[in-house]
Amino acid sequence: MFFSNPDFYGKSLLMTQILCIANQKGGVGKTTTAINLSAALAVAKQKTLLVDCDPQGNATTGIGVNKSALEQSLYHGMIGKASLDSLIVDTEIDALKVLPSRVELIGFEVEMLSAPDRAKALKNLLAELDDTYKYIIIDCPPSLSLLTVNALTASDRLLIPLQCEFYALEGLGQLIQTVRRIRSSLNAGLKVAGILLTMFDKRTNLASQVAEDVKHKFKDLVFNTIIPRNVRLGEAPSFGKPIQLYDAASKGAKSYFALAREIMAQSH
């Protein structure tokens, strides 16, 4: 059992909570969750920083930042060419800021290949912050790359999105092994915040069966909140808005508010 060790997951009582959202399987709702969880926390008056650690920069555009207008991005901070304060950008929600990313972040893995502390670049960058933010949410790329290792090394907790489809659990073992390696060598305090079921379609027997199987296997580690397959959630990024600003009455918005409440409850 991956989570048989109770010390592997649980609450975090630190002042600033750093939560990374990772699963090397693509298309499971990582970026959607990063954007909308960050926005929901901010709407709940929790000062939040969204860190886009994916070279695709989808969290950056999805939150409404024009990447082409940026002079610098997360890449410049991680290679030591820019201070954190100079990189943080405002969003439409006062309590939500973003540390943006662009395609040049791909170069980080090549340029830092021989650097001794290459796995701690993001952790060292975020260490420049004081307790300005209650939550820092990190969106990871769909791979177990050096960037994902950096995110796991910098984080207190890991949120794992799982799509309610047939291959939901495929690759989860590899992710957990990576987490174990991170805990043993780079970040002994890393815990699993929980597994988030995403893209749930109540009209299909398969989605219900997958949800049931995951809850049976992982029990209390599965968040009570389930993110539905929702058209409005899919539309919001093309308008550069989190679902809370695009359609606050939608099922998608309500589900991310519920997730934010669960995350906040874990912090107390």
Mean pLDDT of 142-161: 94
Whole-number pLDDT of residue 2: 47
Q: How are strands ordered across the β-sheet holding 48-52?
A: 89-90, 96-99, 48-52, 135-139, 17-21, 157-163, 191-200, 222-228
CA distance 130 to 178: 29
Pairwise pLDDT comparison (3 vs 37), residue with the higher score: 37
Q: Identify the residue whose tokens are 């398969």.
A: 206
Report the DSSP pairing between strands 157-163 and 191-200.
Answer: parallel
257 backbone dihedrals φ, ψ, rounded to 5° = -65, -40
pLDDT tens, position by position, 9-35: 455 445 899 999 999 888 888 999 999
pLDDT bucket at 268, cuts 50 / 70 / 90: low
pLDDT bucket at 110, cuts 50 / 70 / 90: confident
Most confident of 77-86, 198-207, 227-236: 77-86
Q: Which residues contact 84 (CB under 8 A, 6 or more apart)?
A: 77, 99, 125, 126, 128, 129
Residue 215, Cβ density class (10 Å: 0-12 exposed, 13-18 middle, ≥19 buried):
middle
**Entry pTM:** 0.91
Residue 255's SS3 state is: helix
8 Å CB contact between 48 and 135: yes
Whole-number pLDDT of residue 153: 96
pLDDT bucket at 220, cuts 50 / 70 / 90: confident
For residue 167, which of 35, 1, 33, 24 has the smallest C-alpha distance? 24
Q: What letter does residue 9 receive in the DSSP assignment?
A: B
Find the radius of gyration of the CA atoms of the chain.
Answer: 17
Given a cut of 80, whether residue 170 has pLDDT beyond it is: no
Structure token pair of residue 110: 């090549």
Domains of the chain: 6-266 (3.40.50.300)
Mean pLDDT of 34-63: 96
CA distance 235 to 189: 37
Whole-number pLDDT of residue 1: 41
Average of per-residue pLDDT values in the chain: 89
Give per-residue burial for 69-91: e unless 16+ CB within 10 Å, then b: ebeebbbbbbbeebebeebbbeb
Largest CA distance in the chain: 51
Task: Report which residue type is found at 236.
Answer: A
CA distance 47 to 35: 14
Pairwise pLDDT comparison (75 vs 177), residue with the higher score: 75
Given a cut of 90, whether residue 8 has pLDDT beyond it is: no
Pairwise pLDDT comparison (5 vs 216), residue with the higher score: 216
Q: Identify the residue whose tokens are 């950056």.
A: 60
Pairwise pLDDT comparison (265 vs 114), residue with the higher score: 265
